[in-house]
Structures are given as C-alpha cells and as structure tokens.
A and B are shown apart, each in its own frame.
Chain A
Amino acid sequence: DGGITQSPKYLFRKEGQNVTLSCEQNLNHDAMYWYRQDPGQGLRLIYYSQIVNDFQKGDIAEGYSVSREKKESFPLTVTSAQKNPTAFYLCASSTGLADTQYFGPGTRLTVL
C-alpha cells in the first residue's frame, strides 16, 4: 500500500537534546513538507523540499533542520535551539506544484 509513514508516534525529549523525526513515503512524490500543529491552531510550515538535495525554509524554520538525501525520506531534526518544541508534527508529500498534499499520521513530541 502506498502512503506516508512517520515514526515514532510519541516522542519524549529532555530539554537541551536534539531529536530527529522520521518521515518516509512510497508514493514516488517529488515534494515533501513538514508542518507543526499546536492545540486549537492550524498548521504552520516548517520546511519543504521540491526535489532531492534541495529544501527551503517555511514560515517557522528557526530551531529546526532537515535533509533530503533520498526521494523517499525527509527527516526533521528539532534542535535545542527551538524554544517551544512541544507540538504535533505532520509530514506531507505531493507530486508537484499546487498538487494535493497527502499527510502522514503525525508524531507528538513532548519536551520534559
């Protein structure tokens, strides 16, 4: 079955630690995205990637980093510089410009 997987579903981190969230897709999509969702709010774009080895900052990139070494994978690292990292993180992918974005199940990150 084609789709997007994110792991882990729940993640706990101590303050000052970096943590990496996984996102994998087997839809053969070129574009991938990371969003952050806070309670009662819409989604905000962190980073996006149009093709392999290329990515762009979104609206709230500070304190986050990404890589796109393979078409299928777009991991997100939440660094210790992110001041308020507790949130629900969603990965998405699409074939291209303005095409429908499909979302993974999300990872809930809690900083203790």
Chain B
Amino acid sequence: GDSVTQMEGPVTLSEEAFLTINCTYTATGYPSLFWYVQYPGEGLQLLLKATKADDKGSNKGFEATYRKETTSFHLEKGSVQVSDSAVYFCALSEKSSYKLIFGSGTRLLVRP
C-alpha cells in the first residue's frame, strides 16, 4: 500500500542554518503531496503542497519540489529561525481517495 517515509529526528540546527528534511513516498498512482507543521500542543497547519510532478510548493521561506523520478518531496529552508521549531509531517493523498497518509513526523529544534 501507499506509504510515506521521513527522516528520523530530532533535527537540531542553529539559527540561520540551512534546513533539509527528507521525505520519500510509495504510491500506486500520482498522488498530491503535502507538508504540515505542528507546534507544541496544537493541531496541524498546512505548510505547502504540490499536486503534480515537478511542481514546487512554497510558503514562509519553505520549499519542496515534487520529484517523481526519485519519489521524493524534501522540505528545505535557506535560513531557519527559532520560531520554526516544531514537528513537520510529510503526507500524500491519492487522487482516487479521501485518505491522507502521513509520515511519522520529524521534530526540528532551532537554537539561538
């Protein structure tokens, strides 16, 4: 079945460092791909999405490109801030299904 694999955390960075969180997926069709962010004690917020191959989603300085050839959707940010500390979830949704399949999440800790 469909699945999403994320790099294990925690990822610890200094402020202004470059961020990459890896995400790869397995799917039978051509899914839509998402990154969600969860701050402590809160629900999930949509960070960005891409619906077809080679699309780039971007928001708040974060970017991710839908790579069909490597089945990946890695999250990047050029310069992280302390306020970016959170748990990041990669997810996919097949176009024939209502289900959203999540990775296990990657905790990011940014130190001043």
A residues with a Cβ closer than 8 A to B are 4, 6, 31, 33, 40-43, 45, 48, 50, 58, 90, 92, 94, 97-98, 100-106, 108
Contact = CB atoms under 8 A, between A and B. Distances in A.
B43 A106 contact: yes
Contacts of B95: 97-98
Interface in B61-112: 89, 93-100, 102-105
A2 to B, nearest CB: 14
Contact of B98 (A97, A104, A105, A108): A97
A100 B59 CA distance: 15
B98 A50 contact: yes
B25 interface: no
B42 A106 contact: yes
A50 B43 CA distance: 21
Given A97-B95, A102-B46, 12 more contacts: A31-B98, A33-B100, A43-B44, A43-B89, A90-B43, A92-B44, A97-B98, A98-B96, A100-B34, A101-B46, A101-B100, A105-B43
Interface of B: 4, 31-32, 34, 36, 41-46, 49, 89, 93-100, 102-105
Contact of A98 (B4, B93, B104): B93
Nearest to B42: A105
B28 to A, nearest CB: 14
A98 B52 CA distance: 12
B99 A45 contact: yes
Given A42-B105, A98-B32, A98-B95, A103 B100 contact: no
29 contacts: A31-B98, A33-B98, A40-B105, A42-B103, A42-B105, A43-B89, A43-B102, A58-B99, A90-B44, A92-B44, A92-B100, A97-B95, A97-B96, A97-B97, A97-B98, A98-B32, A98-B94, A98-B98, A100-B34, A100-B46, A100-B49, A101-B100, A102-B46, A103-B44, A103-B45, A104-B43, A105-B42, A105-B43, A106-B41
